[in-house]
Amino acid sequence: MKDSMDELSNGAVSHLDLETPEKPYLDANELIINMGPQHPATHGVLRVILKLDGEKVLGTECVIGYLHRGVEKIAENRTYTMFNPYVDRMDYVAAVSNGLGYCEAVEKLLNVEAPPRAQYIRVVLTELNRIASHQLWLGTHALDIGAMTPLFYTFRDREEILKIFERYCGARLTTHAFRIGGCQYETYAGFEKDVKNFLAFFPPKIDEYEALLTSNRIWLERTKNVGVISGKDCIALGVTGPVLRASGVKWDLRKAQPYAAYSKFDFEIPVGENGDTYDRYMVRMIEMRQSLRIIEQAVNGIPEGPIMGKVPKVIKPPVGEIYHSIEAPKGELGYFIVSDGSTQPYRVRVRPPSFVNLQALDIMVRGMLVADVVAVIGTLDIVLGEVDR
């Protein structure tokens, strides 16, 4: 038993040996079980093949692709503008962030910049979206660990954000809020009031979530020292976002490579210490509060001016390639676009945070129990639409 624990702790990612040669008389040693694709805790259609010793996880293998829609391939047959709504369908929980990343990448390729007013509106909406995404994460994560009630509280409060989106651009989930070069819509009358109302409304709600969970004994036992990953491992695997920051690495693209108007705002990057599930929980909770700070500064400082930059009617970027990444709620969301000078991209490659973060699942759950797999899937905050694209 000791040897196998040592073997587990070196964190080697290896393929599972799924073939059991001869069924032994007492087959209590290994159990291969399929978690998913239809399973309440895999957040969609993720299939995790678990190799178990009793309840202990000896190894995992993720089987993905059940939600593959070929988004990247579709891009090659659409003009730059036409492709814009498709990115919303990747991480449908944070559609605004997806749109921001794509628009900024194309803007960079075109060498134009969105006007300041558009930049500020983008920041407000993106940060609202970050809160919405974290709310959904919190609700489902708590549900996975067995606390049903926070899910309904978060959905109640997420509704307020979705209402703002709906009033702004008519859509609640797949918003398609931004256009290449700025924003298509001017803010509606009362936009600022709605956002400020939300700013006043939401902090007590975060306190409410925290009252249910943060110092709950069972919550602490279920999350402390569960799914621990070191900062080094995170960097080696390319893990980003709250997962990376909870492991003690202070890396947030909003500070490290400021885009949009983020360099103008004052906010802090929460960092964890242990890299366990509880730290990731706390990091995201603080991030929600920090997002509120950013929104407050942005909505108070929205400058006057146009909302669209000088963008040609037909978007035809020069030959070249560009990689642009933003800090999506789940981590670094990057777009690599190759242009052959035509109206359609030659190749679009998305670097989705969920997909990359999911790689960490195996080393996070090895040697843990089945219940921890569920907690870790929840804490990684994956969206299968983005993993499979």
Partner 1 sequence: MNSVVNTGAAPVATPFFFYFLAGAAIVSGLLVITRRNAVHSALSLIVTLLSVAGLYLMLYAPFVAGVQIIVYAGGIMVLFLFVIMLVNIERSAKDRQFNRIWPVGLAAACALLSLFVSAFVKGRNLFPDRLVALQESSNTQQIAAMLYGEAGRMGPYTFAFEIASLLLLVAILGAVIMTKKKI
Partner 2 sequence: MLNAFMSYLGSTVPPGNADNQLWALIYVLIIFAGVSLAVVAMNWIERKALAHFQIRLGPMRVGPHGLLQPIADALKLMLKEDIIPAQADAVVFWVAPLIGLLAAFTVYTVIPFGPSQAVSDMNIGILFMLGVSSLGVLGIITAGWASNSHYPLIGALRSSAQMVSYEVAMGLAIVSALLMTSLNRTGTGTLSMIGIVEAQQQQGVWFIFKFFPLGLIAFVIFAIAMIAETNRAPFDLPEAESELTAGFHTEYSGLRWSLFMLGEYAAMIAVSSIAVTLWLGGWMRPFPNLLTGSAWDFIFSLFPGLTFAGLAAIAFIGTARMPAQAYFRIQRIGLAVFAALLGLIALLLLAIAVAGRTNDASIAGRFREGIDYVYWFVLKVAVFMYLFIWYRATWPRYRFDQLMRVGWKVMLPISLGVLILTAIVGVLIS
State the binding partner of 146 from partner 2, partner 1, none, CB within 5 to 8 A by kind: partner 2
Beta bridge pairs of residue 331: 328
Paired sense of beta strands 182-183 and 320-328, if any: unpaired
Residues 310-329 vs partner 2: string with x where CB under 8 A?
A: --------------------
Taking CB under 8 A as the rule, does residue 33 contact partner 2? yes
Taking CB under 8 A as the rule, does residue 3 contact partner 1? no
Residues 54-83 vs partner 2: string with x where CB under 8 A?
A: xx----------------------------
Taking CB under 8 A as the rule, does residue 26 contact partner 1? yes
Amino acid at 376: V
Cβ atoms of 83 and 291 within 8 Å: the answer is no
Q: How many CB atoms lie within 10 A of CB 310?
A: 11
Instruction: Report the nearest approach of partner 1 to the CB of residue 59 (Å).
Output: 21
Taking CB under 8 A as the rule, does residue 31 contact partner 2? yes
Question: Which CB, 24 or 70, lies closer to partner 1?
Answer: 24
Cβ atoms of 169 and 176 within 8 Å: the answer is yes
Instruction: Report the nearest approach of partner 1 to the CB of residue 242 (Å).
Output: 36
Taking CB under 8 A as the rule, does residue 40 contact partner 2? yes
Cβ atoms of 133 and 94 within 8 Å: the answer is yes
Cβ atoms of 121 and 309 within 8 Å: the answer is no
Taking CB under 8 A as the rule, does residue 21 contact partner 1? no
Q: How many CB atoms lie within 10 A of CB 381?
A: 28
**According to CB under 8 A, which residues from 106 to 145 bind partner 2?**
142-145
Taking CB under 8 A as the rule, does residue 27 contact partner 1? yes
Taking CB under 8 A as the rule, does residue 276 contact partner 2? no
Question: Which CB, 55 or 207, lies closer to partner 1?
Answer: 55
Taking CB under 8 A as the rule, does residue 216 contact partner 2? yes
CA angle 262, 242, 114 (to 5 degrees): 25
Read off the tokens for 26. 């007492």
Beta bridge pairs of residue 348: 337
Q: How many residues bind partner 1 (CB under 8 A)?
A: 7
Read off the tokens for 317. 């970027």
CB contact burial 31-54 (16+ within 10 A = b; e otherwise) = ebeebbbebebbbbbbbbbbbbee
Question: Which CB, 4 or 300, lies closer to partner 2?
Answer: 4
> Which of 5, 18, 173, 218 is close enough to bind partner 2 by CB under 8 A?
218
Window contacting partner 2 (CB under 8 A); options: 8-16, 33-41, 127-135, 188-196: 33-41
Cβ atoms of 324 and 335 within 8 Å: the answer is yes
In the complex, the residues that contact partner 2 under the rule CB under 8 A are 31, 33-34, 39-41, 54-55, 142-149, 151-153, 156, 212-213, 216, 218-219, 221-222, 369-374
